[in-house]
């Protein structure tokens, strides 16, 4: 189903005249440097295609003959058509033992080019370049040092005042005419240059089977979505690698190109932690381009763009469609992560646009909570997850939690318990024991959705803001702790550390061990307050909270610890709201 949907997406994009998706036999690839030569093969200079974008140098992308997979101890025996990295073209760096072997492969491949290609002026110039020894002049160029600074420096040749040689019309026509009839270099290795013909499991069409599948850049390395490890127990009936699950070359090209295009897209890809999520609709839709805005961090240049799309989403639930889209159109969401030699599928979701729109709306409603004025109106998934990660760093987001979280949103199922556990653990480990708005929103969302699926007569849904009638003991204890902290702060202006830093962890897990002592200390703090009216207000508030408690429990379970955090947060926000209202009235 995944491969079929990706192939359909490729066909949809390929039929669109405005689409820039690579046609069969090609791929969009960056070439950082071009060796400029004349038609006699004489070296002119090395051209740097990179342009500065912000703090990065970004190389120009070209439509090139498709690269082929190469791995293992003999990977150097495979090269690409008229382009490759610096090891193949120039045999650099010399410190790498493979560079010399790669360069030999490159030279041999040039001599073995078919006549159709050798007759092209650009290809002839490349052959003359090597035959005349012009490579020595390139190696003396001051630009070589710049080339070697790039880990994977892709290069090719260009005639003066012309496009790169792999992009010349004759070369591209050769690739188009020969792609469908010939196996890749690796596929033909064991098949006498003919390839095996079979029926494609995805389309039912007959054609040359792809023994190995193209790779996708999912992290620092490129990995395959489909692959069978050779001689490792995965072969059956004498069939090796891709022959175990036959997919013809045209289908393999289509799904790999579609996936690579989606992973390079700015609007149809999300990356959170180590997981990448791509999404597309069966037909062109607005939802397809808006989906990322529901979950990603707002763009600094246009921070309101995501908010506007979320508001449109809320309106769409009433109409049954997103903006002008047909709500019954299918929508696909694929979550991927790197894993050894292959790509791991974290989740795969298929549904209609209206179904996903409704579930995403539920997600935003779950996370709605009272918050300070400068907080984002809607939280991105990245912001939620980074606030439960160690040191609030993206690289510390637990690897599996992203996929589990996205799956629960898209299925409309309870959020993973690991979210609540990580959030409470992060609050306790924080040096300031901070219950941030985003953490309080996460706890609220988790608890409300959990009890929506597993009803409990003793549970009352957690509100967006302070609820003095909330029956939860943990919630009322959280409120009590917030009031005691507030009394201490007002009695000791400028205090560096409050009871929160010292006692929050114990108060939310084993209340009986700390609250008796804290209530005794609060009398000392109240005596310091100059305003007797303020003392009366605090005493009244304490009496209201204590009236809902019969005793201090010896232990709070994890859900009550979550309610403790929300009760504390709600009460603190109520103090600030009251203060702001008072200042406004004055």
Q: What is the pTM of this model?
A: 0.86
Handedness of CA 348, 354, 357, 361 (dihedral sign): negative
Are the CB atoms for 232 and 224 separated by under 8 Å?
A: no
Residue 415 near residue 329 (C-beta atoms within 8 A): no
Q: Which pLDDT value is given to residue 551?
A: 92
pLDDT band at residue 580 using 50, 70 and 90 as cut-offs: low
Cis peptide preceding 93, ω within 30 of 0: yes
Computed over every residue of the chain, the mean pLDDT equals 90
| pLDDT band at residue 71 under the 50/70/90 scheme | confident
Q: Which helix (H) or strand (E) holds 29?
A: strand 26-31
Residue percentage of the chain with pLDDT more than 70 = 92
DSSP annotation of 165 reads: G
343 in helix, strand or coil?
A: strand
Tens digits of per-residue pLDDT, 15-60? 999 998 999 999 999 999 999 999 999 999 999 999 999 889 999 9
Query: Whole-angstrom Cα distance, residue 377 to residue 60?
Result: 38
Q: In what order do the strands lie in the sheet with 84-85?
A: 43-48, 33-37, 154-159, 84-85
pLDDT in tens, 277-335: 999 999 999 899 889 889 888 776 676 777 788 888 877 756 656 666 778 899 999 99
Long-range contacts (CB closer than 8 Å, 24 or more residues apart) made by 517-524:
518/481, 518/484, 519/484, 521/484, 521/488, 522/484, 522/487, 522/488
Is 183's pLDDT higher than 50? no
| pLDDT (average), residues 468-494 | 95
Indicate the SS3 state at residue 47: strand
Structure tokens at 131: 């035959």
Closest residue by Cα to residue 34 from 172, 175, 153: 153
Locus of tokens 């037909």: 283
pLDDT in tens, 413-430: 999 999 999 999 999 988
Please compute the mean of the pLDDT values over residues 341-345 and round it to a whole number.
86
CB 159 within 8 A of CB 121: yes
**What's the start-to-end Cα distance of the chain, in Å?**
64
Q: Which carries the bigger pLDDT value, residue 68 or residue 547?
A: 547
Q: What whole-number distance in Å separates Cα of residue 182 and Cα of residue 203?
A: 19
What is the helix (H) or strand (E) element at residue 13, kind and residue range? helix 2-14
Token pair belonging to 476: 């009322």
Longest pairwise C-alpha distance within the chain: 99
Q: Is 473 exposed, middle or buried (0-12, 13-18, 19+ CB in 10 A)?
A: buried
pLDDT in tens, 94-119: 999 999 999 999 999 999 999 989 99
Give, in order, the Cα–Cα distances in Å from 268 to each of 256, 262, 334, 372.
16, 6, 11, 31
List the single range of 321-325, 340-344, 566-570 with lowest mean pLDDT: 321-325
State the pLDDT at residue 72: 78
Residue found under tokens 């040092």 = 145
The CA distance from 140 to 154, in Å, is 19
Return the H-helix or E-strand segment holding 52.
strand 51-53
Run of H or E including 358: helix 353-366
> H/E/C letters for each residue in 490-535?
HHCCCCCCCHHHHHHHHHHHCHHHCHHHHHHHHHHHHHHCCCHHHH
Confidence of residue 193 (pLDDT cuts 50, 70, 90): very low
Cα 136 from Cα 42, distance rounded (Å): 11
Predicted pLDDT at 181 = 52
Q: Where are the alpha helices (DSSP H) in 113-156?
A: 115-118, 121-131, 135-139, 144-148
Of 233 and 493, the structure prediction assigns the larger pLDDT to: 493
Judged by phi (left if over 0) then psi (alpha if -120 to 50, else beta), residue 140 lies in alpha
């Amino acid at each position: 189903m995944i491969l079929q949907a990706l192939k359909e997406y490729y066909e949809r994009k390929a039929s669109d005249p405005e689409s820039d998706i690579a046609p069969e036999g090609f791929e969009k690839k960056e070439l950082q440097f071009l060796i400029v030569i004349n038609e006699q093969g004489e070296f002119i200079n090395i051209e740097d295609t990179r342009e500065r974008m912000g703090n990065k140098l970004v190389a120009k992308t070209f439509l090139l003959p498709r690269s082929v997979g190469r791995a293992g101890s003999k990977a150097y025996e495979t090269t690409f058509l008229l382009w490759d990295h610096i090891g193949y073209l120039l045999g650099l760096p010399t410190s790498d033992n493979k560079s010399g072997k790669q360069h030999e492969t490159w030279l041999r491949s040039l001599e073995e080019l078919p006549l159709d290609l050798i007759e092209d002026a650009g290809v002839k110039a490349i052959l003359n370049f090597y035959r005349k020894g012009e490579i020595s002049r390139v190696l003396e160029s001051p630009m070589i040092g710049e080339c070697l600074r790039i880990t994977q420096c892709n290069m090719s040749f260009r005639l003066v005042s012309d496009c790169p040689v792999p992009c010349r019309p004759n070369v591209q026509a050769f690739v188009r005419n020969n792609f469908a009839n010939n196996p890749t270099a690796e596929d033909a290795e064991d098949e006498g240059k003919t390839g095996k013909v079979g029926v494609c499991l995805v389309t039912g069409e007959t054609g040359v089977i792809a023994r190995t599948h193209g790779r996708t850049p999912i992290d620092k390395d490129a990995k395959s979505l489909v692959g069978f490890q050779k001689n490792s127990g995965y072969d059956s009936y004498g069939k090796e690698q891709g022959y175990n699950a036959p997919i013809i070359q045209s289908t393999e090209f289509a799904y790999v190109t579609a996936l690579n295009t989606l992973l390079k897209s700015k609007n149809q890809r999300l990356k959170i932690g180590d997981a990448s999520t791509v999404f597309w609709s069966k037909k062109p839709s607005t939802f397809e381009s808006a989906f990322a805005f529901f979950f990603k961090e707002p763009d600094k240049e246009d921070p309101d763009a995501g908010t506007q799309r979320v508001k449109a989403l809320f309106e769409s639930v009433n109409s049954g469609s997103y903006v002008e889209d047909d709500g019954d159109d299918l929508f696909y969401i694929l979550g991927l992560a790197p894993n050894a030699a292959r790509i791991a599928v974290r989740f795969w979701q298929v549904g209609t646009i209206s179904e996903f729109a409704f579930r995403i709306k539920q997600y935003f409603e779950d996370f709605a909570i009272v918050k300070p004025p400068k907080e984002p109106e809607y939280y991105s998934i990245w912001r939620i997850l980074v606030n439960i990660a160690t040191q609030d760093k993206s690289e510390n987001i637990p690897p599996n939690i992203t996929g589990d979280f996205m799956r629960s949103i898209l299925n409309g199922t309870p959020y993973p318990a690991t979210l609540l556990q990580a959030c409470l653990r992060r609050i306790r480990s924080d040096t300031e024991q901070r219950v941030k708005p985003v953490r309080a929103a996460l706890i609220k969302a988790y608890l409300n959705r959990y009890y929506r699926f597993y009803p409990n007569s003793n549970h009352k849904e957690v509100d967006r803001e302070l609820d003095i009638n909330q029956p939860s003991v943990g919630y009322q204890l959280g409120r009590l702790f917030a009031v005691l902290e507030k009394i201490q702060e007002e009695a000791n202006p400028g205090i560096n550390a409050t009871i929160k830093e010292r006692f929050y962890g114990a108060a939310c897990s084993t209340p009986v061990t700390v609250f008796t002592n804290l209530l005794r200390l609060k009398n000392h703090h109240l005596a310091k307050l100059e305003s007797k009216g303020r003392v009366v207000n605090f005493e009244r508030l304490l009496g209201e909270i204590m009236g809902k408690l019969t005793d201090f429990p010896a232990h709070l379970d994890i859900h009550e610890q979550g309610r403790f955090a929300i009760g504390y947060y709600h009460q603190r926000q109520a103090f600030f709201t009251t203060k702001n209202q008072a200042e406004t009235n004055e």
